[in-house]
Amino acid sequence: MSIDVVILAAGQGSRMRSQKPKVLHELAGKPMVRHVIESAMKAFSSPRLHVVVGHGADQVQAALSDLPINFAHQHEQRGTGHAVSQTLEALGNGPVVVLYGDVPMIQAPTLSALVERVDEQHMALLTVTMANPHGYGRIVRNDQGQAVAIVEQKDASAEQLEIGECNTGILAATGDQLRRWLPALSSDNAQGEYYLTDIIAMAASEGIEVATAEPALVSEVQGVNDRVQLSALERIHQSHEAERLMREGASLADPKRLDVRGELSVGQDVFIDVGCIFEGRVHLGNGVHVGPYSIIRDASIGDATRIEAHSMVEGSETAGDNAIGPFARLRPGTRLEKKARIGNFVETKKAHVGEGSKINHLSYIGDATLGKGVNIGAGTITCNYDGVNKHRTEVGHNVFIGSNSALVAPVTIGDGATVAAGSTVTDTVEDQALAIARARQINKQGWTPPHRK
């Protein structure tokens, strides 16, 4: 069954005090509207996506340019009913779900359950019961308990204001139903707008039953009007992530000081210290230890690896039983084989570090392949860039590179070779050879050092 998903994203969001459209403000490192789209795509198989844009339309379209979306323009802000009507020509006859780009925590199971209730004789409405319903439209039911209308806060009577069941704005109907009802909407209300919610009364008048459902959590339907509300949802989202991780086998030093900004999966007996940030797709294997204030982005960390404090691992992979940091940076394209070690203030990029190899201090290793059992001395760098092109450094097995050496790529260091400290290596070093590439020391007796005048 083909399903249309309409997402309203045309509002200005003036209370955000921002040049950026409200729906592009980020929750867990991702624009709010993208959270909504991803939930819809999880709930339905190949839905047709329609995003209604208005203020900042170019920015919204650019941010979602990688997705198969039909963008509809609402040039005048005349209410939610008017917004949905901009998509009518593109809708099919089957179920249509209306969502909101600033309600980012809606979940796929909630949407699936809602759509199941929709057919020619039924539409569906997502409601929520709140202790303090101020600001929400109220659900009006008849004597048989059927939902027959929604009354907005500003239009509600004193009796209706006492109703605790509220409208979330999220609903589902067929395309045929919407084509009948939306053109008949009236703007005769306190706001002078075309309310989408008025179609509930139209459905009731036609004898079409309005089925209602509630989300598992109130946070699923909480909208964002300002940065304070966005911050509150961020903490709710992160608390859900922390709870999930602990149930899956991770211990968190402080669940309130965790930020997951993507997809994080964990094995058993993982430990995550305070202040860590996980972005993109990250996997932590069994027994991984992540030290405080580390950032891991788009990486796979093998079993029993220890990442010490203030390290950054991006676009990298470790085979397991590795030691990283503190204050280490693994840049994209780094692969550590088992038992390889990256120490403090070491940076790697497009580096394949062999089993048991060590780069322990103050070094840069980029565009390089290191064999097994290599020792890189402190202060060593691979000079991989000639100002135009990048070149590779190839280091064989069981090589010892002395401190403060510069390996000028392209260059090859053979198996078992040794490079003396302070060398600048520009030519191939054969297997088992000792390379000494430094100027002869000269001592000048009686030399007078510079002094202040």
3-state secondary structure of 124: strand
Q: Known binder of ligand: residue 403?
A: yes
**From residue 348, how far is each of 133, 297, 332 by CA, in Å?**
54, 15, 8
| 240 included as an active-site residue | no
**152 carries a ligand binding annotation:** yes
Does the annotation list 265 as a binding residue?
no
* Residue 10 labelled as part of a binding site: yes
- Residue in the structure block whose two tokens are 């394949």: 352
**How many angstroms separate the CA atoms of 372 and 353, rounded?**
8
333 annotated binding-site participant:
no
> Which H or E element spans position 239?
helix 227-248
Residues 6+ apart with CB under 8 A from 160: 138, 140, 151
Establish whether 409 is an annotated binding residue.
no
Please indicate if the annotation marks 195 as binding a ligand.
no
Q: Is 167 annotated as a binding residue?
A: yes
Q: Which two tokens stand for residue 317?
A: 């992979």
- Provide the CA 437 distance to its chain's centre, in angstroms: 48
Please write down the HEC assignment for all residues of 158-201: CCHHHCCEEEEEEEEEEHHHHHHHHHHCCCCCCCCCCCHHHHHH
Q: Which run of H or E residues covers position 110?
A: helix 108-115
193 is in an annotated binding site: no
For residues 82 and 96, give the distance between their C-alpha atoms in angstroms, rounded to a whole number.
16
List Cβ neighbours of 74 (8 Å cut-off, separation of 6 or more): 10, 52, 53, 54, 82, 83, 86
Q: Answer yes or no: is 79 a known binding residue.
A: yes
Classify residue 170 as exposed, middle or buried by CB count within 10 Å of its CB (0-12, 13-18, 19+).
buried
Say whether 364 counts as a known binding-site residue. yes
Is 438 annotated as a binding-site member?
A: yes
Could you give the C-alpha distances from 280 to 28, 297, 308, 313, in angstroms and in order? 10, 6, 20, 12
Q: Indicate the SS3 state at residue 52.
A: strand
Of these residues, 240, 283, 310, 361, which one is catalytic? 361
Read off the tokens for 267.
């094995």
Residue 22 assigned as binding residue: yes
Q: Is 86 annotated as a binding residue?
A: no
CA 365 to chain centre: 29
Is beta strand 329-330 parallel, antiparallel or unpaired with respect to 347-353? parallel
404 assigned binding-site residue: no
Tell me: is residue 291 an annotated ligand-binding position. no
Q: Is 100 annotated as a binding residue?
A: yes
Q: Does the annotation flag 223 for ligand binding? A: no
Q: CA–CA separation, 407 vs 403, rounded Å?
A: 11
Which has the closest alpha carbon to 403: 430, 373, 380, 427?
Answer: 380
Neighbouring CB atoms inside 10 A of 342's CB total 31
80 marked as part of a ligand binding site: yes
Which residues are annotated as part of the binding site for Mg(2+)? 102, 225
Residues recognised as catalytic? 361
Q: Which residues are annotated as a binding site for UDP-N-acetyl-alpha-D-glucosamine?
A: 8-11, 22, 74, 79-80, 100-102, 137, 152, 167, 225, 331, 349, 364, 375
Residues annotated in a binding site for acetyl-CoA:
378, 384-385, 403, 421, 438
Annotated binding site: 8-11, 22, 74, 79-80, 100-102, 137, 152, 167, 225, 331, 349, 364, 375, 378, 384-385, 403, 421, 438
